[in-house]
Structure 1
Amino acid sequence: MLFSGKNIIVTGASGDLGTAIIKRLICQGANVLAVDSDDAGLSHLVAEVSGAGVLEIFVADVSNGEEVLSYATRAFALWGPVDGFVNNAGIQTPVRSIVEFPEEDFDRVMAVNVRGVFLGMKHVLPRMRDGGSVVNMSSALGVVGGAGIVAYVASKHAIIGMTKTAALEQGPRGIRVNAAAPGPIACRMTFKLADEVFAGSNKSFAETVPLRRHGTPEDVAGLVSYLLSDDSSYATGTTHAVDGGFTTG
């Protein structure tokens, strides 16, 4: 019961990573407000999740300031000060070179992946308990480059910069702000990207990592649980890889 009585917000809740994170937190006793723009996905999540904790859902677009303020306010109204925040919502676009990349696709990715993380911290941090923890979901591609996915790479690099800034600002309150950087995880987003990158072949991203396998959403959930917990009480402003060694070389 690592998070018994703790109040945690998770965005991007109905995706593969969000679902795995929430399942773990609920089993560890947390009260979780699950946020996503996909109403049907949230309803499916409710049917899947069970445990000692309490699950509440909230439909919101993380790129909309008023809706972000609404979910932050809702969490506070439900349980009081927030103890943990997992800024997980993110999107990807089809693979295109920079010179062919549509401006509207670039703007859409930055709106969700960057503006969403910024707005989340802007509105949740004032409602967070001193000593709380924020985990921003970056990526292995926030550490290295990746051809054909300029918006995604730029957005995930930006998240690491915002994480460092927030850690400096919130340190005096004892609030820790860290980034998780997953590599090739067995989830819908990874497989969709692989279909484009390796089209016409039998290759997969698993071949690009030293461990020669995809990670699992549960691998990411384990890291997030650690970063939210007191076990990481002296870690802030850092980026933690869970990528099978993808960024080692």
Structure 2
Amino acid sequence: MKAQGKNIVVTGGGNGVGRELALLLLSKGANVFAVDISEEALEETTEIAGNSRRLFTYVVDISSKEEVFSFAEKVQAEHKKIDGIINNAGIIQPFIPLNELNMDRIDRVMNINFYGTLYMMKAFLPHLLKRPEAHIVNVSSMGGFLPVPGQSVYGASKAAVKLLSEGLSSELADTNVDVSVVIPGGIATAIKKNSNIAHNVSDESSRSQMILTPEKAAVLIINAMEKKRLRTYIGKDCNIMNAIYKLNPFFAMRMINKVMAVGEH
């Protein structure tokens, strides 16, 4: 689905990749409905976008089923049509083993990453099915196929997003709605800060050629939508580890264990 002239919802639109997605979609001629839990962050996005008349912002907690469904009805009533949704918002867990992770943290990760995505799809799918052309894009993670020590629940939530996306794509095969799942590796965003996790990534790590910038990630995500790709791996690290994991899962797991043992996360 080409972005030009479409009405597209983007979650996590207040910062990072979500903000870059909103800005890129605006530059392509789309009307953007940016969703975030932070009103201040959305205001910053609006300012950066030059107060574009095609950018509309909504404060929504996507982990709340009631808020998501209410938002879907509101935006549909106000703007008459929604052509696409990009489920980008997500958080990670503290870098600790499952045995040490409390249930509140587990619930928060699953409620935002998995249920937030599920709620958005359930709330908007009836509207999307009425459009001549529509698209759902869900952002998963390299952690959804490659086990990462200290991120087991996060990985489970993103693996669920991947399978849910591919299952939905099969269900919608004979409809006007396409589904894409994008699987990124490392992206230089403030996800640790936004997840309320201590963050100590070194400048050298942030500048690594293996790490995507939010701007580049946004380009690749929109490209996946416009080319109607079901599954897209983005980032050098993700593509390399995906190839290694397919060939030798145990070797790939040992590699990621060594990386995590360095403690630069």
Which TM-score applies when normalising by structure 1?
A: 0.86
Equivalent in the alignment of 1:214: 211
- Residue 62 of structure 1: SS of its match in structure 2? coil
Separation in structure 1 between the aligned mates of residue 194 and residue 74 of structure 2, nearest angstrom: 34
Offset of 1:3 from its aligned partner?
2.6
Contact 2:91 2:192 in 1 (8 A): no
Separation in structure 1 between the aligned mates of residue 20 and residue 188 of structure 2, nearest angstrom: 12
CA 1:192–1:85 in 2, change beyond 3 Å: closer, same or farther? Answer: closer
Equivalent in the alignment of 1:108: 108
Question: Which blocks of at least 5 consecutive residues in structure 2 are unaligned?
Answer: 245-265
Pairing of 1:93-242 with structure 2 (within 5 A) = 93-128=93-128, 129-189=131-191, 204=205, 212-229=209-226, 232-233=227-228, 235=229, 238-242=230-234
Separation in structure 1 between the aligned mates of residue 88 and residue 210 of structure 2, nearest angstrom: 23
Which TM-score applies when normalising by structure 2?
A: 0.81
Contact 1:32 1:53 in 2 (8 A): no
Separation in structure 1 between the aligned mates of residue 41 and residue 107 of structure 2, nearest angstrom: 24
Separation in structure 2 between the aligned mates of residue 98 and residue 190 of structure 1, nearest angstrom: 18
Offset of 1:82 from its aligned partner?
1.4
Contact 2:210 2:237 in 1 (8 A): no
Offset of 1:77 from its aligned partner?
2.1
What RMSD over aligned residues (CA atoms) do the two structures have, in Å?
A: 2.5
Contact 1:4 1:53 in 2 (8 A): no
Question: Which blocks of at least 5 consecutive residues in structure 1 are unaligned?
Answer: none
Separation in structure 2 between the aligned mates of residue 168 and residue 39 of structure 1, nearest angstrom: 36
| Number of residue-to-residue matches in the alignment | 237
Counting aligned pairs with the same residue, the percent is 30
Offset of 1:228 from its aligned partner?
2.6
Deviations 1:160-190 (A, max 9, x none): 0110111112222121111111111111126
Offset of 1:198 from its aligned partner?
7.4
